[in-house]
Amino acid sequence: MAVYEIKFRDSKELAASLNAIGADVRSLPFFDNRREIRALYLSCIDVRAANVIKQEMLSRGGDAAVHAHAVDCSVQKSDVIIFGTVKQISFLADKLEIMSWWGFPGIVKSLRRALDSFSRKTSKVSLPSGNDLMLGDRTLLMSIINLSDDSFHKESRTYGNIGTAVARALEHAENGADILDLGAESTRPGASRISEAEEIRRMIPAIKEIRKNLPLMPISVDTTRKKVAEAALKAGADIINDISGLSFEPEIAEAAARFGAMLAIMHMRGTPQTMMSMCGYSNLLKEINEFFDEKIKIASSLGVESSKMILDPGIGFAKDHNQNLFLLRHIESLRIHSKPILVGASRKGSIGRATDSKDPSERLAGTLAVSSLCAWSGVDIIRVHDTKENKKAVMMAEAIRDADYA
């Protein structure tokens, strides 16, 4: 007799094993609902509701962690961590739906939202250039073209030379880039701002020339300014990548909406000059997800379609080394918003610290490890300096993840 642990990553793997042991194929939905235990964190729940949630989960074979003094109601509020299968959480939502007190309507709404986010979906998004971006099928590569002379990775700089930028774009495209991300202003820690006019002067000729050579390549523009975004979109850009997360000029979202462009919203605090002094969080995942809840509402109010929003946790922006690693380990927490996830960690400081590589030029191996992790976790887009190498790493991770069950 052999005994071993097996983790079924999806319904297909489970179905293959059930078939192999001769189980009735009609049992698949029942076992699939029990395939994986989920953990949901709910914050600031009425303590009476928290006690009900715990009892309801226990009655269904799940559980919930609550405040130690929830049982005697000597605290008014409690955070709750629910542990259960999709089926158990779904039953909980059904039961709580008939209760209109103690904040249950809001809790049920949150549970339904979480249940919906558990299923991975693919979507095709139309871009202003006339191309479509397929999201959710595989991890896409957003390849960096720095038009600045001040980016932290010297080898990525084009120093404003349009010919160099076009050559870099063609190289990225040949090596498997899915999106090109152009930035004219450095956002490295401590970087100084350039004028709006200078940003436009650097950006627009590069977009136009790259668009001539690559008519259907999705082009992203890394900017926080509405006027730069408008000029870039007129010149042929498809995506506005706002590292301020609508904190500097929220109206940049209106520009994206008017042109039918996608909008990447990144979590950040402060500015590149001040952000590294703003790394204090009481609950990192909670505060980042609350940030995105707020910014999604703002973007929606300014006309951006829900399907055209992208969320970026902002690795290296107002996060210290351990916070960056923690975010990468828990990247799935962002799925609650049912939006594509973008991760930009390429050659950054946390990779340098983790791999004892002070010079960004020595951080490729560490970057490939992060890219592989992101691909395994189903991150939709990764922003990288080295397209060819990252493409291979992503292909390998996805090949292992998606291998047919034997």
The catalytic residue positions are: 348, 383
How far apart are alpha carbons 127 and 260 in whole angstroms?
Answer: 7
| Residue 279 and residue 320 in contact, taking contact as beta carbons nearer than 8 Å | yes
Strand 123-126 relative to strand 219-222, pairing = unpaired
Concatenating the DSSP letter of every residue in 253-295 gives HHHHHHHT-EEEEE---S-TTTGGG----SSHHHHHHHHHHHH
What are the tokens at 337? 């918003």
| Residue 283 and residue 323 in contact, taking contact as beta carbons nearer than 8 Å | no
Compute how many other C-beta atoms are within 10 angstroms of the C-beta atom of residue 197: 10
| Residue 132 and residue 168 in contact, taking contact as beta carbons nearer than 8 Å | no
- Sheet hosting strand 38-46, strand order edge to edge: 38-46, 77-84, 63-65
| Residue 283 and residue 329 in contact, taking contact as beta carbons nearer than 8 Å | no
What are the tokens at 350? 């946390």
- How many residues are given for the chain? 406
Angle between helical axes of 321-329 and 284-301 (0-180°, round to 10) = 70
How far apart are alpha carbons 181 and 171 in whole angstroms?
Answer: 14
| Residue 393 and residue 372 in contact, taking contact as beta carbons nearer than 8 Å | yes
How far apart are alpha carbons 45 and 167 in whole angstroms?
Answer: 55
How far apart are alpha carbons 279 and 189 in whole angstroms?
Answer: 13
